[in-house]
């Protein structure tokens, strides 16, 4: 009896010593792990986790000392209130950097907390322009923002699909912001905006605004909003005998949109999504490594989450310190090859190499096309 | 011209669905003086029950004719909603019949939340694809004007249902009892009318109509969702007030007028307030620049379509406080 106790004591002492030799650097991750889009939150967390595990396996040395990286995962349930609570919890836990959050709606309020605490935060998937326009030096993202996406949609519509473009948005901060950028993109590329129409994110009937649009005979109708409205809207476009092509942003770039649009979706239906499709990632083995480690497929943003975590670690290595204030200058200047391609940030914290992919409808699915 | 005709068709289709829902509000209000805010959610339950039944039929009897499937779905949904309407009245409202008016109103809002949350638990948060069993391929009765078979059926069947209801209320014994109860509960019961039964019947009929409206709504747009009842519910309530709440003909007129106002408003508000239509000498420099090359500067666009409908309601209520067809009713005892 006594012997086992002593043995246990010896074991405990040595495990403690081993830890003392190898400093632990905590990196936080936040995304919704419960609720409607829990699968996307888990996907982001998996991306960050894979990055940390792979760096640990290779061995990380910061400022001449060997360190062990540790992921602290939190759940914000896609809710701004919860997002702020878990952000504060990560700050209190002493994380040295944060990957997250997923939704712009939770990322923007939480970004203030990280910035005040002086902890760098890199969002892999929040696209609202506001995030990086708050003048917060500690806030970054690896995903192209809505302004970049809007100008791609505008250019694509005006140069590839036809000169006359009608734009509908759902008056949410996402829909409205994106529509304004699309408007600029169309006009900047020699197109004409025949009308801007508006609906809301509860609506199911779009016949009145579509009838008005029809009277102006546009070549393209762009919807800036979510799939739940976009799908039924496309149906009603066909019911009114409108021949215009249809484009929607990332809110509609989902299998759900295709399901709701049914027969109305066809070869003249397009959508755009920030980021690259998995088949076009710079790191060709990423998908295989991801699937091998987690046993599930990549949902959306895991590669961007991986690169966000990698950017934090690369900056710590370059600065020779895991102290946020010390490695922040290195993070601002970072430039490395991530799994999505080149990773670097501009002076606002937006990605310099943000890709936008245009998808076209083909046989019941979205397929990336060359814009 | 085609555009105007098309907007009128759009307005009539939406308006006749509003009218069907508004009948439920107005009947209950006429008899109990209660605004049944859960009415919109009964529409949602109707649509989702029909969806469930039709999916079941499609899975197990794939050879059945689509129209028959829709009819079975409709009947089951109507029955389910009738039972639901009865249960709600019996459990939530009856005990509060003599309570201050605020109590049943708050209870109605509570029932509405309850139904939505239950539906969310049962059917999930996602938008469901409602099978469009009647063709939605557009027909062209006039060059450039489109109407789908579903829309034609919505127009005809809601007209039939409304006509039937008017006959029921004005020509039958049950209808006479309903009118008597509406006029004065106590006296009606002294005259041998079983007022509890009449009130239950009113809820049952109103809920059945809501179920039909829900199935029509979902067949037309091809979607069903746990929160789908809210917007049409509010619109139909507006329609009932616009027409004169408590008045059956008023609810129908109010529904159709509201549908037309919304659709014409969304269609023409922008064009009518386009400052580019101003004569040249009235335009300022930056405006002329915006207007060149086919641009427009719309003061009020479809952004304001809902506001427009409520402005019309406000104006009507200022000049006719009891609504378009409302009559001055003597105060209830």
Quote the minimal CA–CA distance from A26 to chain B in Å. 36
Domain B2-319 of CATH type 1.10.3470? yes
Interface test with B, best of A188, A239, A252 (most B CBs within 10 A): A239
Strand-pairing partners, residue A217, are none
Confidence of residue B328 (pLDDT cuts 50, 70, 90): low
Which chain A residue lies closest to B297 (C-alpha atoms)?
A195
Over residues A37-91, the pLDDT tens digits come to: 888 899 999 999 999 999 999 999 999 999 999 999 999 988 999 999 999 999 9
Identify the structural domains of chain A with CATH numbers, from first to last: 2-143+280-343 (3.40.50.2300), 147-274 (3.40.50.2300)
CB A52 within 8 A of CB A29: no
Strand-pairing partners, residue A72, are A28
Instruction: Break chain B into its structural domains and give their ranges.
Output: 2-319
**pLDDT for A317 beyond 50:** yes
Which residues in chain B touch residue A215, judged by CB atoms under 8 angstroms apart?
Answer: 2-3
- Is B10–A214 a contact, with Cβ atoms under 8 angstroms apart? no
DSSP state of A345: B
Q: What is the spatial distance between Cα A328 and Cα A303, in angstroms, rounded to a whole number?
A: 22
Over residues A137-171, the pLDDT tens digits come to: 999 999 999 999 999 999 999 999 999 999 999 88
Size of interface A-B (CB pairs under 8 A): 103
Tell me how many degrees the CA angle A126-A128-A132 measures, rounded to the nearest 5: 85
Here the contacts of B28-33 (C-beta below 8 Å, separation 24 or greater) are B28/B202, B28/B203, B28/B206, B29/B240, B29/B245, B29/B246, B30/B182, B30/B245, B30/B246, B30/B247, B30/B248, B31/B178, B31/B181, B31/B182, B31/B198, B31/B199, B31/B202, B32/B93, B32/B97, B32/B104, B32/B199, B32/B202, B33/B101, B33/B332
Which residues in chain B touch residue A184, judged by CB atoms under 8 angstroms apart?
Answer: none
What's the confidence (pLDDT) of residue A15?
Answer: 47
From A208, A232, A238, residue closest to B223, measured CB to CB: A232
Confidence of residue B279 (pLDDT cuts 50, 70, 90): confident
**pLDDT for A264 beyond 90:** yes
Confidence of residue A14 (pLDDT cuts 50, 70, 90): very low
ipTM confidence score: 0.88
From A208, A215, A241, residue closest to B263, measured CB to CB: A208
């Amino acid at each position: 009896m006594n012997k086992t106790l002593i043995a246990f004591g010896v074991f405990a002492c040595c495990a403690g010593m081993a830890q003392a030799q190898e400093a632990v650097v905590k990196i936080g991750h936040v995304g919704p792990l419960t609720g409607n889009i829990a699968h996307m939150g888990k996907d982001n967390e998996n991306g960050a986790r894979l990055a940390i595990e792979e760096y640990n396996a290779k061995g990380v040395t910061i400022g001449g000392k060997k360190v062990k990286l540790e992921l602290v995962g939190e759940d914000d349930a896609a809710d701004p209130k919860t997002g702020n609570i878990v952000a504060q919890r990560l700050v209190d836990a002493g994380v040295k950097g944060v990957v997250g959050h997923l939704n712009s709606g939770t990322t923007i309020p939480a970004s203030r907390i990280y910035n005040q605490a002086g902890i760098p935060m890199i969002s892999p998937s929040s696209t609202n322009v506001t995030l990086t326009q708050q003048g917060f030096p500690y806030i970054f993202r690896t995903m192209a923002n809505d302004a970049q996406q809007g100008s791609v949609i505008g250019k694509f519509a005006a140069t590839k699909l036809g000169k006359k473009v009608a734009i509908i948005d759902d008056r949410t901060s996402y829909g409205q912001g994106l529509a304004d950028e699309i408007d600029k993109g169309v006009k900047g590329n020699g197109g004409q905006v025949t009308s801007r129409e508006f609906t809301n994110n509860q609506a199911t009937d779009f016949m009145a605004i579509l009838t008005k649009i029809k009277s102006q005979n546009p070549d393209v109708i762009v919807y800036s909003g979510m799939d739940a409205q976009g799908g039924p809207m496309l149906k009603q476009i066909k019911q009114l005998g409108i021949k215009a092509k249809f484009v929607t942003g990332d809110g509609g770039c989902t299998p759900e949109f295709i399901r709701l649009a049914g027969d109305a979706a066809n070869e003249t239906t397009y959508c755009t999504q920030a980021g690259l499709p998995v088949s076009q990632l710079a790191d060709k083995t990423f998908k295989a490594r991801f699937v091998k480690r987690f046993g599930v497929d990549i949902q959306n943003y895991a590669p961007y989450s991986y690169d966000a975590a990698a950017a934090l670690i690369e900056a710590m290595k370059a600065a020779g310190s895991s102290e946020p204030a010390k490695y922040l200058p290195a993070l601002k200047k970072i430039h490395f090859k991530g799994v999505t391609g080149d990773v670097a940030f501009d002076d606002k914290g937006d990605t310099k190499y943000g890709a936008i992919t245009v998808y076209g409808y083909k046989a019941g699915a979205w397929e990336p096309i060359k814009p | 011209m085609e555009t105007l005709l098309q907007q009128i068709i759009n307005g009539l289709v939406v308006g006749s669905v509003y009218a069907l829902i508004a009948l439920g509000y107005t009947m209950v209000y006429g008899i109990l003086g209660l605004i049944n805010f859960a009415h919109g959610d009964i529409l949602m339950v109707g649509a989702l029950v029909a969806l469930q039944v039709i999916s079941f039929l499609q899975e197990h009897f794939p050879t059945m004719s689509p129209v028959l499937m829709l009819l079975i779905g409709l009947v089951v949904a109507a029955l389910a909603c009738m039972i639901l309407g009865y249960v709600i009245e019996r459990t939530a409202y009856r005990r509060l019949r003599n309570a201050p008016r605020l109590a049943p109103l708050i209870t109605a809002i509570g029932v509405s939340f309850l139904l939505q949350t239950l539906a969310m638990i049962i059917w999930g948060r996602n938008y469901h694809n409602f099978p469009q069993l009647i063709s939605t391929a557009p027909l062209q009765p006039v060059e450039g004007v489109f109407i789908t078979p579903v829309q034609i059926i919505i127009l005809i069947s809601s007209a039939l249902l409304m006509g039937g209801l008017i006959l029921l209320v004005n020509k039958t014994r049950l209808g006479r009892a309903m009118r008597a109860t509406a006029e004065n509960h106590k006296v009606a019961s002294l005259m041998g009318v079983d007022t509890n039964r009449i009130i239950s019947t009113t809820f049952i009929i109103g809920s059945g109509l809501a179920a039909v409206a829900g199935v029509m709504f979902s067949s037309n747009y091809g979607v069903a969702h746990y929160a789908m009842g809210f917007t049409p519910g509010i619109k139909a309530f507006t329609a009932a007030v616009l027409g004169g709440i408590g008045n059956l003909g008023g609810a129908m007129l109010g529904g159709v007028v509201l549908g037309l106002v919304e659709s014409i408003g969304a269609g023409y508000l922008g064009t009518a307030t386009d400052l580019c239509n101003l004569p040249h000498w009235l335009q300022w420099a930056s405006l002329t620049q915006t207007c060149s090359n086919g641009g427009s500067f719309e003061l009020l666009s479809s952004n304001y379509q809902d506001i427009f409908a409520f402005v019309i309601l406000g104006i009507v209520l200022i000049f006719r406080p009891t609504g378009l067809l409302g009559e001055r009713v003597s105060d209830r005892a």
